[in-house]
Structure 1
């Protein structure tokens, strides 16, 4: 009697192994772009750390491609817990930049809403009652004129700086 599919323990499929290999190679590439100080803070075995440090010395495309494959091979030797610790450390290293970028994008979107829609100004005034409303209205009106007349976006930038100062 043949075994049922759920009773077969064949392990991961070839495709799954390939995906894992590619992910670990990409992780090694991300690590190779870190500064030497940041790389020292990542929990890695010494041989992997040395191989990653050598990546920046390689100049030719083909040699770099082969070296990245080698890094992927070294990374495959690590177990899941070690990979998780490395990824956690990377999040800590890269995190503040991502958070700051997201905040700036939110401020840009708010500025665009203020210029496009007067209801956004009402919402902003509700959130920040101490806001100099007259100044903001003037900046919005000037930004609209600048856009209409294809002038340099001076007021547009001033609105952004004002919003950044509010710490929204």
Structure 2
């Protein structure tokens, strides 16, 4: 068996398999960029040619054209430094995770308000600027709508009111 000197291994070009894995990782990163909104993309610090390529992908409707554009995005990604892009995507994912947590917290508050009359007092103590009369009216209407099997218009309005108070 031939033993390799570690120094010579460092100077060898990456294997074909490694190059393929690297290209696939860049394409996956590019694919993730295509899933973002235009506002999110424009807030990111992306190379101009990459931003244009991703925005163009989002406008395309033809499957074969989308495939070609995704290949082009992968090619453009080869010239870009992926680290800052990965960091920015991680920050965006974090924002969406915190937004989801906030949404679920508001949903729990709404459910508590609809089930427990004492929860209104808790909400008002935590959010003194809230309109108690409007909240109580929306709770009564939401309960009545649920009882009659009507669309939850007041429940949605209550959620909007809670979100604004937060």
Q: Which residue of 2 aligns with 1:60?
A: 62
Distance 1:29 1:39, change over 3 A: farther
State TM-score, norm by structure 1.
0.59
What whole-Å deviation, never above 9, does each CA across 1:38-74 have from its counterpart, x for those lacking one?
Answer: 559633274x456445535655322422331342244
In 1, the alpha carbon distance for the partners of 2:43 and 2:164 equals 36
Q: Deviations over 1:5-24 (max 9, x none)?
A: xxx98989x58963x54442
Give yes or no for contact 1:42–1:90 (8 Å, CA) kept in 2: no
CA–CA distance in structure 2, aligned partners of residues 99 and 163 of structure 1: 19
Partner SS state of residue 69, structure 1: helix
1:69 — aligned with what?
71
Distance change (3 Å), C-alpha of 1:42 and 1:130 = closer
Q: CA deviation at 1:146?
A: 1.1
In structure 2, how many angstroms separate the alpha carbons of the residues matched to 1:2 and 1:49? 48
Matches within 5 A, 1:35-50: 35=38, 38-39=41-42, 42-44=45-47, 46=49, 48=50
Answer whether contact 2:139 2:155 (CA < 8 A) is retained: yes
Is the CA contact 2:27–2:77 (under 8 Å) kept in the aligned structure 1? yes
C-alpha distance after superposition, 1:89-138 (max 9, x if no partner): 4567x58x848953444323321221123453343133135655455334
Partner of 2:150: helix, strand, or coil? coil
Given that 2:60 and 2:66 are in contact with CA atoms closer than 8 Å, whether structure 1 keeps it comes out as: yes
The aligned counterpart of 1:24 is 26
Q: 2 CA distance for matches of 1:68 and 1:115?
A: 48
Alpha-carbon distance change, 70 to 119 in structure 1, aligned in 2, over 3 angstroms: same
Mapped to 1, the partners of 2:126 and 2:60 lie a distance apart of: 53
TM-score, normalised relative to structure 2? 0.60
Q: Which runs of 5+ in 2 are unaligned?
A: 4-8
- The residue that corresponds to 1:164 in the other structure is 163
**Structure 1: stretches of 5+ with no match in the other structure:** none
- Provide the rounded CA distance (Å) in 2 between the counterparts of 1:36 and 1:135: 34
Question: Partner residue of 1:111?
Answer: 110
